[in-house]
Chains A and B, each alone.
Chain A
Amino acid sequence: MSSPESSPYRETHAEKHGKARATEWPLWEIFIRGQHGLSHRHVGSLHAADAEMAIKNARDVYTRRNEGVSIWAIPAEAIAASSPEDKGPMYDPANDKVYRHPTFFDIPDEVGAM
């Protein structure tokens, strides 16, 4: 996913993280929703020939102890990700908008819970 140019594995068989290879089953990213009504959460990845198998494998690899009630399997190559270099322009602007947080406003105690 992050290989810089000089990785020794570049010359051998490694290709970009997530890309299907001739002999290797494609990589799937697995998301599981736990028992308590929360959103699906990324738990890891696995290899599978197709979506059906990805879900079956995810069940064996990631839910052996009742960790979830629902599984999403997504081809890793279908995921678009922001890059760490864009961290500044992406997230810094939020820092000077402190009024977006409720604690920005002082409400007198007499008003009660708000």
Chain B
Amino acid sequence: MYAQMIKSTGKGVKSLDEMDPQERAFQERIDAGGKIEPKDWMPEGYRKNLIRQIGQHAHSEIVGQLPEGNWITRAPTLERKAILLAKVQDEAGHGLYLYCAAETLGVTRDQMTRDLLSGKMKYSSIFNYPTLTWADMGAVGWLVDGAAIMNQVPLQRTSYGPYARAMVRICKEESFHQRQGYDIMMKMAKGTPAQRKMAQDALNRFWYPSLMMFGPSDKESVHSAQSMAWKIKMNTNDELRQKFVDQTVPQAEYLGLTVPDEHLKWNEEKGGYDFSEPDWEEFFDVLKGNGPCNTERLEARNKAWDNGRWVREGLLAHAAKKRIAKLAAE
């Protein structure tokens, strides 16, 4: 998802009997649906995992502005441009809600930023794909934000209070994103033959990368089992991917577009679609940094950070000067 391949302690999930009293009380509180708050005791693994997960999620929101930012100056109408601007601004906001949740765990914003810029911390693989046509803005909103919503709605019930509260805010806003994307797709799919072709092409290119957003199957993963016991992950990757496909295929049919999967077939017995897996080798390659846009994305973030340095320092100096002047006047 927006946080892919988060590795936990690597050990299996401890049973309550194996835990010391403090950890046991912590786990029992989570089992009972209680929330963990910043000043509460927590196992170090829980803290580290959450920092990685929330941080990666925040970075994804921030880097996720870039593929869409590409089209702000090229939007076909003034209205589309204003809408896209508002959407990209929301993504910045989502990043900020999440950074502030992560900071309550004892990591600083600067540290997270440094780890993103150095490539130490990751962001979602999806943002390493290019947005080549205006129809991609439709596909990103419809599919990418749609996949994000699948994951984020259950996370509103996650055990860490600040994370859950950030998710509530984000989910409220995310639905606008998906609908504006689908709105673009409807316009394109019902437009000229050339526009239809663009819409189909965007679906072709974004379908499998969207399925990859949920990460590889984690049925057997000890990391996922631990995260689920801690309720910082609420569903398996396969469950969410299935749900996404089941929801999205009828939406593609409404548009008159074809999902690029010859094995896609309704399975009456399971009450869901059978579908092809994405190319997981490609996924791991993109995560490693070899996607079409990895270099460009990180360069853009590094450039923004470096070029903004004088502003950050200047405003800090100005604030200090004002404070001193105010003290002197008193």
Chain A residues within 8 Å of B, Cβ to Cβ: 1-4, 6-10, 12-15, 17, 21, 23-25, 27, 43-47, 49-50, 53, 60-61, 64-65, 81, 83-84
Contact = CB atoms under 8 A, between A and B. Distances in A.
B93 A50 contact: no
Given A9-B111, A64-B90, A1 B96 contact: no
A45 B86 CA distance: 21
A9 B52 CA distance: 12
Given A2-B42, A84-B40, A61 B315 contact: no
Contact of B48 (A8, A49, A50, A84): A8
Given A2-B41, A27-B103, 11 more contacts: A1-B104, A7-B106, A14-B106, A24-B108, A44-B97, A50-B315, A50-B322, A50-B323, A61-B93, A64-B173, A84-B39
B302 to A, nearest CB: 16
A4 to B, nearest CB: 7
A64 B93 contact: yes
A50 to B, nearest CB: 4
Nearest to B316: A49
Interface in B181-208: none
B109 interface: yes
Contact of A45 (B44, B100, B312, B322): B100
14 contacts: A3-B106, A7-B106, A8-B48, A14-B108, A17-B104, A24-B108, A24-B109, A44-B100, A44-B169, A46-B96, A50-B319, A61-B97, A64-B89, A65-B173
Interface residues of B, number: 39
B110 A13 contact: yes
Interface of B: 37-42, 44, 47-48, 51, 86, 89-90, 93, 96-97, 100-101, 103-111, 165-166, 169, 173, 312-313, 315-316, 318-319, 322-323
Nearest to B108: A14
A93 to B, nearest CB: 21
Main secondary structure, interface of A, reads loop
A2 B38 contact: yes
A102 to B, nearest CB: 28
B32 to A, nearest CB: 16
Given A1-B38, A45-B100, A14 B173 contact: no
- Specify which of B44, B90, B108, B313 lies most central, judged by the most chain A CB atoms within 10 Å of its CB: B108
Given A7-B47, A81-B39, A84-B39, A14 B107 contact: yes
Contacts of A61: 93, 96-97
- Specify which of A4, A25, A27, A61 lies most central, judged by the most chain B CB atoms within 10 Å of its CB: A61
Contacts of A50: 315, 318-319, 322-323
Contacts of A4: 41-42, 44, 47
A15 B108 contact: yes
Given A1-B104, A4-B44, A24 B166 contact: no
Contacts of B38: 1-2, 17
A46 B99 CA distance: 9
Q: Would you list the 7 A-B pairs with minimal beta carbon distance, nearest first?
A: A3-B106, A49-B315, A50-B319, A1-B38, A49-B319, A45-B100, A2-B39
A43 B109 CA distance: 18
Contacts of B169: 43-44
A10 B107 CA distance: 8
A60 B40 CA distance: 31
A14 B109 CA distance: 9
Nearest to A83: B39
A53 B105 CA distance: 25
Contacts of B173: 64-65
A55 to B, nearest CB: 13
Nearest to A1: B38
